[in-house]
């Protein structure tokens, strides 16, 4: 099992902007945040990483956890 994690910039609040993610054992820097929005219970981001792939990230505030979905 590989650990999937998200690194983020936190200013005024936690998880303001993701900066990198770990996927399949590799650290991928986020080149662009294509979209960001709030949903009940958290925040979602659609990001493009340095190799061109796109991911959707969800930060769940209740359980303080990230989820990553490859698009």
DSSP 3-state of 70:
strand
Number of Cβ within a 10 Å radius of residue 6: 22
pLDDT computed for residue 10 by the predictor: 81
**Contacts of 44 by beta carbon, 8 Å cutoff, 6+ apart:** 36, 37, 38, 56, 57, 58, 59
**pLDDT (tens digit, 9 = 90+) per residue, 21-40?**
999 999 999 999 999 999 99
* For the chain, domain boundaries: 5-70
pTM for the whole thing?
0.88
Can you tell me the distance from the alpha carbon of 27 to that of 64, in angstroms, rounded to the nearest whole number?
21
């Amino acid at each position: 099992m590989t650990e999937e994690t998200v690194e983020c910039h936190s200013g005024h609040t936690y998880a303001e902007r993701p900066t990198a993610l770990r996927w399949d054992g590799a650290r991928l820097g986020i080149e662009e945040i294509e979209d960001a929005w709030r949903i009940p219970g958290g925040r979602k981001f659609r990001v493009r990483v340095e190799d061109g792939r796109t991911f959707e990230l969800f930060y769940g505030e209740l359980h303080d956890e990230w989820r990553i979905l490859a698009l």
